[in-house]
């Protein structure tokens, strides 16, 4: 890695702006062909699908179910724990890491995006952007058509209601929903 690449990676790591051209040296880490192959496999080809997931993702736990199709910018920046269930049309915009804990369930049509763009149009040339990691802790359930934005952490055991746009961290053991997503109540023993 040369000095310029190291400087760009430093900016990316700090959530600062960078351009498509500056980050092009990372393109070999993209897994688009493998994702296409995964999405083309038969649902019953479990061994083949598992082998592909292990090649696509940064790490993948035991007993993982990821229904087709799914999409990812890289794939290699996604880390999934044990006992994960991802329903159809899950999209990972993983310019930086997305870390998903154990026992997480994600409904259809969810987007996890680590990347955003500047508000001012003069700053968006060459697809200038910023990226911040997403963390989804253990036992989280994310409802259909949720969008999780850059830098968000969703705490242990939380539930995110369908159609929400998660712009800020969600504390553990809460139900949150809305646009923007807000905590509406704690999860208690009464929910058993």
pLDDT tens for 40-49 read 999 999 999 9
Which of 50-54, 90-94, 122-126, 136-140 bottoms out in mean pLDDT, i.e. has the lowest?
122-126
- Position 28 scores a pLDDT of 87
Catalytic residue among 71, 117, 120, 145: 117
Average confidence (pLDDT) over 9-29? 93
Burial of 8 (C-beta count, 10 Å sphere; 0-12/13-18/19+):
buried
Full domain range(s) for residue 61:
3-191
How large is the average pLDDT for residues 112-127? 95
Q: Is 117 a catalytic residue?
A: yes
- The confidence score (pLDDT) of residue 157 equals 98
Residue 164, domain CATH = 2.160.10.10
Q: What is the pLDDT of residue 125?
A: 92
What whole-number distance in Å separates Cα of residue 4 and Cα of residue 87?
39
SS3 of the chain: helix, strand, coil, percent, to 5: 25, 30, 45
Q: How confident is the model at residue 188, as a pLDDT?
A: 96
Average pLDDT, whole number, for the chain?
Answer: 96
- Total domains in the chain come to 1
Residues 67, 191, 112, 109, CA torsion sign = positive
Structure tokens at 103: 């026992």
Burial call 130-156: b when 16+ CB within 10 Å, e when fewer: bbbbbbbbbbbbbbeebbbbbbbbbbb
pTM as predicted: 0.95
Least confidently predicted of 9-13, 78-82, 106-110, 144-148? 9-13
Give the pLDDT confidence of 61-110 residue by residue, as tens digits. 999 999 999 999 999 999 999 999 999 999 999 999 999 999 999 999 99
């Amino acid at each position: 890695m040369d000095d310029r690449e190291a400087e760009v990676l430093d900016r990316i790591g700090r959530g600062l702006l960078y351009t498509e051209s500056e980050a092009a040296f990372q393109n070999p880490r993209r897994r688009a062909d493998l994702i296409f192959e995964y999405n083309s496999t038969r649902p019953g080809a479990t061994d083949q699908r598992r082998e592909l997931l292990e090649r696509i993702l940064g790490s993948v736990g035991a007993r993982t179910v990821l229904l087709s199709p799914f999409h990812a910018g890289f794939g290699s920046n996604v880390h999934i724990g044990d006992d994960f269930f991802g329903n159809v049309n899950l999209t990972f915009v993983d310019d930086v890491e997305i870390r998903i804990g154990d026992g997480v369930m994600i409904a259809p049509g969810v987007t996890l995006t680590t990347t955003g763009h500047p508000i001012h149009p003069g700053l968006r040339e060459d697809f200038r952007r910023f990226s911040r990691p997403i963390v989804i802790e253990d036992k989280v359930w994310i409802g259909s058509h949720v969008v999780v934005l850059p830098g968000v952490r969703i705490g242990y055991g939380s539930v995110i209601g369908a159609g929400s746009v998660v712009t800020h961290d969600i504390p553990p053991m809460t139900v949150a929903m809305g646009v923007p997503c807000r905590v509406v109540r704690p999860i208690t023993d009464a929910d058993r």
